[in-house]
Structure 1
Amino acid sequence: MDSSESLEELLMMNSEESLDEFLQSIPKVHRWGNNDLVKLNGVGIDPKYVPNAVRALNDFKPLPNDVILASFPKTGTTWLKSLLFSITYRSFKESLANIHPHVLVPTIEVQGFEGFESSTHDSRRLYATHTPYQILGSTHDLSNCRIIYITRNPKDTLISMWHFTNKMKDADGSLPLEEAIENFCSEIIPCGPYYDHVMGFKTASLEKPEYIFFITYEELMEDTKTHVKRLAEFLGCPFDKEEEVEEVVKNCSFDILTSHEVNKSGDFTSWFPVPFSSYFRQSNIGDHKSYLDAKTIEHIDALTKEKFHGAGFMYGI
């Protein structure tokens, strides 16, 4: 059975029992940390998140005013969730001091619609997904949504994923860096392949720039204020005063976000086995240089040239 047939069959299942049986029958492609992965539509997925993902694909009906924050894991998602929430719901700015960004802007395939509905503050719905465009765009009419996609240098993404994985409750340092590198380069990683994920949204953003806003983590880091204004204009809610922009940037800074007690919590979430604090790690652009040797950097750069530069996207090296 190939991966595309697997997804089609999953979407037709309407019971947890049949879904469980089907997942048991799919061969595991590899382990990422302590978790086996299955491949559906060519995408690496942890089986325990498949039921919510299937419900999201089957039940989710995008509305014209919806905002989708799409990303590959560990590419700046938490920070961008904070920024987008602050831009979209300006009268609820105090929420960031008391509620974790991943609760305010839930990821539908992880938390499901219960978390999403509880986060809605007005008629505009804001949520996130790690689902590749190749799947999301083929299963939903996204023509009237606003999609914001963030990506990050592949080497820094790899290191951030490795750190995050080893903070999981059942990890116990279970993912050696060498194994993480091998898996990343072999394109057997959660939500991966990374390069396909990025290029799916990059290509779509070139075809539909009025609906899909594509930004890199590095761009956002280097000139946060300018890009916050661009995001607000893209969403149709531009700022009236420069002071408003500065306040959003300040309130969503690493120092301010990590000072809130809710983001320091060591409690594990009910929907993902990591403490809230694990979503915040101070890292600079080029953080990978502290972890990867020259040979590994050269190997990943060669892969990046093939996957990105070969497709006309001059990024990642």
Structure 2
Amino acid sequence: MEAFAHQNPHPDSAIQKQKWFSDEFLYKFKGSWIWSTYLESTKKVVENFKPLPTDVILASFPKTGTTWLKALLHSIIFRSSEENSLIFNHPHELIPSLETKLFLESNGKDPAFTDQKVRILGTHIPYQIIGDVLNSSDCKIVYVTRNPKDTLVSLWHFIQKAKKFHEDPWTLEAAVDQFCNGVLPFGPYYDHVLAYREESLKRPWKVFFVTFEELKDDGNKQVKRLAGFLGCPFEGENAEEKIEEIVKSCGFETLSNHEVNKSSETPECFPLPYNSFFRNGKVGDHENYLKPEMIHQIDAITRQKFHASGFVYGI
């Protein structure tokens, strides 16, 4: 399958669109920019997805720690019966995405998930689009975000795995400008983060909000919090030991060394190889790539969007 091949009918040309890179376009849908490849499946999620009260939805902006959280959530919820799952299965296969897999290939009717008491499902869809759907049940939402500069650099590296990147490169300068203007897949980034954060403040029993940096700083503490939020706390004399085991087994060094995660094979419904999801996993990597003026440009937007909203984060 050719990288970034369009898998859906071309969207209505009347919809507002912006060029992303090469011949890839983003389309405006309910105030957010959706990559043309996933525009129709995103619409299907909004129209047809019926979350169950027992569902756990992992929401995130792309490249903010999604793969890591999928591994952690799977390990926390299925800790006793799925000990070797992460060794033999990529996290994105264990926890499928609504718009990039389930509703893309089969309208969400995935038989592999019908027998599970708890379904863990991923999405990058902004709350502004999917909020009413998620609020239609008592499902739990876990949201992870990451420093805007590290997010951008991680996305820029991620896209370099695409064949089209080398045919018509997405320059870092263009990436910075598009990020600041909000024109990226599922963007604007700042609106994406703030909407889920606001919901977590309003309804902390429904929405768990955590940052990539908090997980790196004290993974044990955050895993313990997550387990409590999900209603499956660690208990007993060896509770701390179990938490430590999960944090270690889901760490970047461990996951990136599993053969399935080093594979150059491409998933059926995604145009980049399995190994593209594991590159660095560090905090502050943007300093190795962004020029001072780029950092200043992004920080200015961060102050305007985050800090002015009371979320002192990202600088």
TM surpasses 0.5: yes
Number of the residue aligned with 1:205: 200
d(CA) in 2 for partners of 1:180, 1:130: 19
Number of the residue aligned with 2:25: 36
SS at match of 2:12: helix
SS at match of 2:71: helix
d(CA) in 1 for partners of 2:293, 2:204: 37
d(CA) in 2 for partners of 1:310, 1:243: 41
The TM-score with structure 2 as length reference comes to 0.90
Q: Which of 50, 59, 68 lines up with 2:48 in the alignment?
A: 59
Identical aligned residues as a percent: 48
How far residue 224 of structure 1 moved from its aligned partner, in angstroms, is 0.4
How far residue 59 of structure 1 moved from its aligned partner, in angstroms, is 1.4
Structure number with greater CO (CA < 8 Å, separation at least 6) is: 2
Query: One-letter code of the match for 1:258?
Result: S
Q: Which of 69, 82, 97 lines up with 1:80 in the alignment?
A: 69
Tell me, yes or no, if the aligned pair for 1:162 and 1:177 is still in contact at 8 Å: yes
CA gap 1:48/1:223 in 2 versus in 1, 3 angstroms = same
d(CA) in 1 for partners of 2:260, 2:181: 37
CA gap 1:184/1:33 in 2 versus in 1, 3 angstroms = farther
Number of the residue aligned with 2:82: 92
Query: One-letter code of the match for 1:71?
Result: S
SS at match of 1:267: coil
Tell me, yes or no, if the aligned pair for 1:49 and 1:110 is still in contact at 8 Å: yes
How far residue 27 of structure 1 moved from its aligned partner, in angstroms, is 4.0
Q: Does 1:238 align with 2:233?
A: yes
Number of the residue aligned with 2:102: 112
Paired residues in the alignment total 299
How far residue 119 of structure 1 moved from its aligned partner, in angstroms, is 4.7
Tell me, yes or no, if the aligned pair for 2:22 and 2:170 is still in contact at 8 Å: yes
How far residue 122 of structure 1 moved from its aligned partner, in angstroms, is 2.2
1:96-175 equivalences under 5 Å are 96-113=86-103, 114=106, 117-119=111-113, 122-172=116-166, 174-175=169-170
The TM-score with structure 1 as length reference comes to 0.90
d(CA) in 1 for partners of 2:191, 2:306: 9
How far residue 120 of structure 1 moved from its aligned partner, in angstroms, is 5.9
Question: Which stretch of the first structure deviates more once superposed, 232-241 or 116-125?
Answer: 116-125
Aligned-residue CA RMSD (Å): 1.7
Ranges in structure 1 where 5+ consecutive residues have no aligned partner:
1-18
CA gap 1:242/1:120 in 2 versus in 1, 3 angstroms = farther
SS at match of 1:30: strand
Greater per-residue helix proportion: 1
